[in-house]
């Protein structure tokens, strides 16, 4: 307990399903010198029996009532900055959920199959079969998601230990900040989404910062990232994403004496993030890159996953590499400086992600009628989680990650055919979504997406002078084409994408023609 007058320190509260690794997390916290409490031990002491015996003697309802009293009181009084691991079902109690509000809640993720593998031979009273585990997990997932300040995916037993130092710093960050510990074979990194993060007293790396930004964003936000060893600016817009500018930035870093122990900071939208990421990959064979996205499209999509690169005259993103960032710091306050049309164009990536994810995210996205940057934090974080989960499963884009190209095949062709000047990236992808849904034989969904695009002032038809053949020709140069042809991502229902779909060229032409009306 804290002495009178002292501030109360929030605890780190680990939540998650059975087998998620909460005991492992407590061990990591003890390794950091934190006092720890495991709720199962308190409950056994309270009942004077094991957990299975308590369920048998009092039933689940009696167990939950006692749990609410014991755990609720603990969380209401906890003030020593320690770590607490809750039972898998503790989140069912309204009192416990309310008491978590002032603590840092860390959701340790586990899927049903892995949870059953870990607990199949235990004596847990509610885990009688793989089916029961799947059903129970599905009922609790919305609560874990709602409560989480930090999300740690499934991984090796040491992942929580690596994430814990950043989790502990959440207490010092602006209220409402959320953390995702992103993980892929190429590296792990923290993703922070919140407001005021550019002014937070935290930075993921201690080496010198070499800033890459554009001439629109740099004057607004660069000073807030001091101290900077040097700054390189490029022009704003897709036409700046070139090998020529890449070389200019590389040479500027060399002149300023950047070394392999330093790092690049990418401040801006997707163009800056892609180019700066490639610079980081190439400079002296690789230096870390911290992504600081300032547009909606970069905060929900392009800043994550490690795809970096630039365009060639022959096609978009033709020169690139894979390099996971060292961190992503998404300060949602930066969206307030975006022109309305830029914000709307970025929303297309939100729309695409909602279509891919389906379920609750799709329902949230389709319900957005007005783009208020002050109300997008949770949607941005949800989109980041989806993108990072896909990347974790397929970092090198050999299979599942292809789903992220929904709408991009035709969208990129429109961008390329118009010289990257007629449409913003998101506007072109919105048109590509309409084509993809036409090819998916999903007329009702296509109509709804068209209505959503129109609601936000986005184009639903190609309104610049360009021929259908120009777009078809650009489609033929799609960098993901194979000997069999260009594979499309199709989607008949939200949450059910199909990758690598070969489509009759005549149908593709018809879908493009429909956009030209």
DSSP string over 216-249: TTHHHHGGGG---SEEEEE-SSGGG-SHHHHHHH
pLDDT digits (tens, 9 = 90+) for 235-244: 999 999 999 9
Mean pLDDT over residues 266-276, rounded?
Answer: 97
Mean pLDDT over residues 14-26, rounded?
Answer: 96
Mean pLDDT over residues 360-388, rounded?
Answer: 96
Sequence-ordered alpha helix ranges (H) in 270-358: 270-282, 296-297, 340-357
Q: In whole angstroms, what is the distance from residue 120 CA to residue 133 CA?
A: 10
Mean pLDDT over residues 130-153, rounded?
Answer: 96
Q: In whole angstroms, what is the distance from residue 228 CA to residue 266 CA?
A: 12
Sequence-ordered alpha helix ranges (H) in 358-424: 359-366, 377-393, 408-417
Mean pLDDT over residues 189-217, rounded?
Answer: 97
Q: In whole angstroms, what is the distance from residue 212 CA to residue 218 CA?
A: 9
Given this model, what pLDDT does residue 1 score? 30
pTM (predicted TM-score): 0.93
- CB-count exposure of residue 41 (10 Å: 0-12, 13-18, 19+): exposed
Q: How confident is the model at residue 5 (pLDDT cuts 50, 70, 90)?
A: very low
Mean pLDDT over residues 92-106, rounded?
Answer: 97
* Count of Cβ atoms closer than 10 Å to residue 66 Cβ: 14
> Which two three-digit tokens encode residue 411?
């969208």
Mean pLDDT over residues 260-264, rounded?
Answer: 97
Mean pLDDT over residues 243-259, rounded?
Answer: 98
Domains and CATH numbers, the chain: 12-172 (3.40.50.300), 188-338 (3.40.50.1970), 395-516 (1.20.1090.10)
Q: Are 410 and 475 in contact (CB under 8 A)?
A: yes
Inform me whether the pLDDT recorded for 185 exceeds 80. Answer: yes
Q: In whole angstroms, what is the distance from residue 47 CA to residue 40 CA?
A: 11
pLDDT digits (tens, 9 = 90+) for 415-440: 999 988 899 999 999 999 999 999 99
What stretch of H or E contains 112?
helix 112-119
Mean pLDDT over residues 367-390, rounded?
Answer: 95
Q: Are 394 and 400 in contact (CB under 8 A)?
A: yes
Inform me whether the pLDDT recorded for 270 exceeds 60. Answer: yes
Q: In whole angstroms, what is the distance from residue 46 CA to residue 399 CA?
A: 50
Given this model, what pLDDT does residue 483 score? 64
Percent of the chain with pLDDT over 70: 98
Percent of the chain with pLDDT over 90: 90
How many H helices and E strands in the chain?
19, 16
Measured between alpha carbons, how far apart are the two ends of the chain, in Å?
70
Q: What is the mean pLDDT of the chain?
A: 94
Inform me whether the pLDDT recorded for 3 exceeds 60. Answer: no
3-17, 294-308, 397-411: least confident range? 3-17
């Amino acid at each position: 307990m804290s002495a009178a007058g002292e501030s109360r320190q929030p605890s780190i509260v680990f939540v998650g399903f059975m087998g998620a690794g909460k005991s492992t997390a407590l061990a990591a916290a003890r390794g950091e010198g934190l006092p720890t409490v495991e709720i199962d031990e308190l409950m056994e002491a309270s009942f004077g029996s094991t957990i299975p015996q308590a369920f048998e003697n009092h039933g689940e309802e009696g167990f939950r009532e006692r749990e609410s009293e014991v755990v609720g009181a603990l969380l209401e009084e906890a003030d020593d900055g320690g770590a607490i691991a809750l039972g898998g079902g503790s989140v069912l109690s309204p009192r416990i959920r309310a008491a978590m509000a002032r603590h840092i809640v860390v959701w340790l993720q586990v899927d049903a199959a892995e949870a059953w593998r870990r607990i199949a031979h235990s004596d847990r009273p509610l885990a009688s079969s793989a089916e029961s585990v799947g059903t129970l997990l599905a009922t609790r997932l919305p609560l874990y998601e709602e409560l989480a300040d930090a999300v740690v995916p499934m991984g090796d037993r040491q992942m929580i230990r690596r994430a814990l130092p950043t989790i502990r710093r959440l207490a010092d960050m602006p209220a409402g900040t959320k953390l995702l510990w992103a993980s892929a074979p190429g590296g792990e990194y923290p993703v922070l989404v919140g407001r005021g993060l550019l002014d937070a007293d935290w930075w993921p790396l201690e080496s010198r910062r070499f800033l890459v930004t554009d001439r629109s964003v740099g004057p607004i936000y660069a000073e807030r990232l001091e101290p900077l060893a040097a700054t390189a600016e490029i022009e704003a817009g897709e036409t700046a994403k070139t090998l020529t500018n890449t070389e200019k930035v590389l040479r500027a870093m060399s002149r300023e004496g950047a070394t392999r122990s330093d790092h690049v900071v990418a401040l801006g939208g997707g163009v800056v993030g892609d180019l700066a990421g490639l610079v980081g990959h190439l400079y002296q064979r690789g230096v870390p890159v911290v992504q600081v996205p300032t547009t909606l499209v970069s905060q929900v999509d392009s800043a994550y996953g490690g795809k970096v690169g630039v365009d060639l005259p022959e096609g978009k993103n033709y020169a690139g590499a894979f390099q996971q960032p060292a961190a992503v710091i998404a300060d949602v306050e930066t969206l307030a400086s975006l022109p309305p049309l830029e914000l709307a164009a970025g929303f297309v990536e939100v729309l695409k992600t909602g279509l891919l994810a389906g379920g609750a995210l799709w329902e949230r996205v389709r319900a957005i009628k007005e783009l208020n940057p002050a109300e997008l934090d949770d949607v941005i974080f949800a989109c980041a989680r989806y993108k990072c989960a896909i990347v974790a499963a397929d970092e090198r884009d050999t299979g599942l990650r292809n789903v992220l190209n929904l709408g991009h095949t035709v969208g990129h062709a429109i961008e390329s055919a118009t010289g990257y000047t007629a449409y913003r990236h998101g506007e072109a992808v919105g048109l590509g979504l309409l084509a993809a849904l036409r090819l998916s034989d999903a007329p009702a969904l296509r109509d709804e997406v068209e209505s959503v695009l129109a609601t936000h002032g986005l184009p639903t038809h190609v309104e610049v002078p360009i021929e259908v053949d120009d777009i078809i020709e650009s489609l033929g140069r799609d960098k993901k084409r194979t000997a069999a042809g260009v594979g499309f991502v199709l989607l008949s229902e939200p949450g059910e994408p199909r990758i690598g779909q070969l489509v009759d060229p005549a149908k593709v032409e018809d879908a493009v023609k429909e956009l030209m009306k």
